[in-house]
């Protein structure tokens, strides 16, 4: 079951970049994100109500959902969308892949979980592999003030993503399932973004073209309803550090799709990077050896 959820998350999030590119246009970025999570919340609430699986939440759980919505379905996306204006997407992918390491550290700080050496080693290998995969894009980008701002935003977005992981883990430890907490979190995220648009004077527009609507539906249902539910379920089952290795693998899926759609050319360094990413995956999911102490005869 865990393997199926893991592969589903990687495949879905590895293809959402196509839909995100189709979203860029006449509609403001924060409004597009609000549409995405507003629609996702509507679908989740409808499914949960019809199946009678919507869990009642106490006041504490609602506050945690609000915080999760702010971190995971609002600030996180605003940071990455804004950072993409100043730094290459490859650099954003490399920064985002550090979520594996941040999750391991945060789980240690907030939950007292032991940091597994294999997860740290696998995350480091995956990070190095992504750097090689995107090296031509990174090497050709000159450092500047805008680059530093973009890096800071990407890092802050990654920290918000990690904080959202911790909040979901906390909710699941209290017995609240990701389907219910995601529905509320996405609703809160959409409302916060809509409020931001109203306060900032962002035009409340909509693009009724087939391209925009179809990409919105893909981002809302497979990308958000299914993707985030599968991922956060993994956070509860496997731990936030191991689940976050998805952030290393889905750029690899995106590059493979780009090879067919956009003519991406694989190079020797990129292939070495791919090998490092896959080796990191093996390390992250390697089960620790159980050492059995010998029984001494009396």
What pLDDT, in 10s, does the model give residues 16-51?
A: 877 887 887 789 999 999 999 999 999 999 999 999
Q: Which residue has the higher pLDDT, 12 or 289?
A: 12
Quick one: 21 exposed, middle or buried, by C-beta within 10 A (0-12, 13-18, 19+)? Answer: exposed
Note the pLDDT tens digit of each residue in 248-264. Answer: 887 878 777 777 766 66
Q: Are 164 and 68 in contact (CB under 8 A)?
A: yes
Is the pLDDT at 9 greater than 50, yes or no?
yes
How many angstroms separate the CA atoms of 75 and 90, rounded? 20
- Global confidence as pTM: 0.86
Give every CB contact of residue 30 below 8 A, 6+ residues apart in sequence. 78, 193, 196, 197, 202
Angle at 192 between CA 102 and CA 170, to 5 degrees: 40
Q: Does position 292 have pLDDT exceeding 50, yes or no? A: no
Read off the DSSP letter of residue 224. I
Q: Which long-range contacts (CB under 8 A, 24 or more apart) does 135-144 make?
A: 135/269, 135/270, 135/273, 136/267, 137/88, 137/89, 137/90, 137/91, 138/88, 138/90, 138/91, 138/94, 141/87, 141/88, 141/91
Give the number of other CB atoms < 10 A from CB of residue 177: 17
- pLDDT for 147-164, tens place per residue? 788 888 988 999 999 999
**Which has more confidence, 149 or 92?**
149
Of all residues in the chain, the percent with pLDDT exceeding 70 is 92
Q: What is the mean pLDDT of residues 259-288?
A: 76
Q: What is the mean pLDDT of the chain?
A: 86
Per-residue pLDDT, 289: 55
pLDDT band at residue 297 under the 50/70/90 scheme: very low
pLDDT score for 141: 61
Q: What is the pLDDT of residue 291?
A: 44
Question: DSSP string spanning 55-112?
Answer: PP--HHHHHHHHHHHHIIIIIHHHHHHHHTTTS-HHHHHHHHTTHHHHHHHHHHHHH-
Q: Which of 29-43, 121-135, 198-212 has the lowest mean pLDDT?
A: 121-135
Q: Of 106, 93, 115, 105, which is closest to residue 255 (Cα–Cα)?
A: 93
Helices 29-50 and 210-220 sit at what angle, rounded to 10 degrees? 50
């Amino acid at each position: 079951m865990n393997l199926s959820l893991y592969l589903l998350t990687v495949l879905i999030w590895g293809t959402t970049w196509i839909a995100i590119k189709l979203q860029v246009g006449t509609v403001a970025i924060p409004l597009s994100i609000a549409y995405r999570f507003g629609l996702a919340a509507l679908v989740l609430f409808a499914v949960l109500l019809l199946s009678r699986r919507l869990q009642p939440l106490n006041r504490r759980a609602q506050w945690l959902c609000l915080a999760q919505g702010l971190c995971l379905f609002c600030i996180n996306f605003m940071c990455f969308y804004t950072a993409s204006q100043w730094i290459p997407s490859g650099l954003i992918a490399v920064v985002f892949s550090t979520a594996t390491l941040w999750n391991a550290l945060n789980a240690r700080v907030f939950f007292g979980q032991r940091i597994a050496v294999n997860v740290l080693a696998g995350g480091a290998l995956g990070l190095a592999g992504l750097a090689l995969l995107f090296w031509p894009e990174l090497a050709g980008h000159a450092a500047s003030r805008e680059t530093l701002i973009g890096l800071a935003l990407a890092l802050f977005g990654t920290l918000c993503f990690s904080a959202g992981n911790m909040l979901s883990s906390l909710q699941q430890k209290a017995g609240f399932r990701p389907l219910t907490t995601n529905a509320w979190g996405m609703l809160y995220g959409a409302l916060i973004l809509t409020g931001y648009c109203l306060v900032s004077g962002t035009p409340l527009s909509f693009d009724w073209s087939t391209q925009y609507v179809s990409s919105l539906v893909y981002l809302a249902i497979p990308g958000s309803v299914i993707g985030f539910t599968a991922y956060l379920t993994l956070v509860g089952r496997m731990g936030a550090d191991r689940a976050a290795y998805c952030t290393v693998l889905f750029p690899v899926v995106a590059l493979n799709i780009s090879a067919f759609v956009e003519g991406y050319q694989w190079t020797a360094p990129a292939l070495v990077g791919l090998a490092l990413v896959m080796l990191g995956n093996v390390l992250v999911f390697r089960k620790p050896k159980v050492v059995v102490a010998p029984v001494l005869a009396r």
